[in-house]
Amino acid sequence: MSLGLTPPQLRMAFGCARMLVGTGAWVAPVTSAAAFDLGAAGEDPHTALVIRMVGVRDLILGAALLPTSPLPEQVALQAGIVADAADMAAAVLHLARTRRRARGWGVLLGAAAFAIAGILLLTADAD
C-alpha cells in the first residue's frame, strides 16, 4: 500500500483526506449528504447539524495525524478506526431499519474505506 510514499507521508495524506471530508461536511452539509448517498437529508436543518458534528470529528481526527499534532499517531489512528467502526454500525442499523435500502450505503462504504486505511496505516509501522 506504499504508493511510493513512506508511512509518515501516507499518514499525513490520510489525515489530509479526513480533514477534507470533515471540512466539506461542515461547510456544505447538503452536498456532503448527497455525496454519501443520503439524498436531500442535508437540507433538513436538524440533519445538517449532525452532519456538521460528524464533520468536526473527522477534521480533528485528520489534524491529529499531521506532524505538528501533539497526539501520538497511533492513538489518532486508533480513535479514527473506532469512530469509523461506529459509523459502519450506525449505517448497518439504518439500512436494516429503513425501507429505502439504497440510502446509507455511501456512509457504510466511506466509513469502511477510512477504517481499512486506518488499520493498514496502523500496522504499517509494525512491519
Nearest C-alpha neighbor of 39 from the set 89, 114, 102: 102
The confidence score (pLDDT) of residue 126 equals 62
Tell me whether residue 108 is in a domain. Answer: yes
Q: How far is CA 43 from CA 15, 33, 51, 65, 85, in A?
A: 28, 9, 11, 31, 26
C-alpha cell belonging to residue 120: 493498514
Residue 120 has pLDDT above 80, yes or no: yes
Average pLDDT of the residues of the chain: 87
pLDDT in the model for residue 125: 65
Q: Give the pLDDT confidence score for residue 127 in this predicted structure.
A: 55
Of the pLDDT bands very low, low, confident and very high (cuts 50, 70, 90), residue 77 is very high
What gap in Å lies between CA 103 and CA 92, rounded to an integer?
Answer: 11
Kindly state whether residue 44 falls inside one of the protein's structural domains.
yes
The span from the CA of 49 to the CA of 30, in Å, is 11
**In which band, very low, low, confident or very high, does the pLDDT at 75 lie, cut at 50, 70 and 90?**
very high
Is residue 1 in some structural domain?
no
| 37 burial type by CB count under 10 A (0-12 exposed, 13-18 middle, 19+ buried) | middle
Residue 102 per-residue DSSP state: T
How many helical (H) and strand (E) elements, i.e. helices and strands, does the chain have?
5, 0
Name the residue range of residue 44's domain.
7-124
Give a yes or no: residue 55 inside a domain.
Answer: yes
pLDDT tens digits for range 42-52:
677 888 888 89
Q: How many domains are contained in the chain? A: 1
Question: Does residue 78 belong to any structural domain of this protein?
Answer: yes
pLDDT for the residue numbered 20: 96
pLDDT for position 78: 95
Can you give the pLDDT at residue 107?
Answer: 84
Whether 45 is in a domain gets the answer yes
Which stretches of the chain are assigned E, i.e. beta strand?
none
- How far is Cα of residue 81 from the mean position of the Cα atoms in its chain? 9
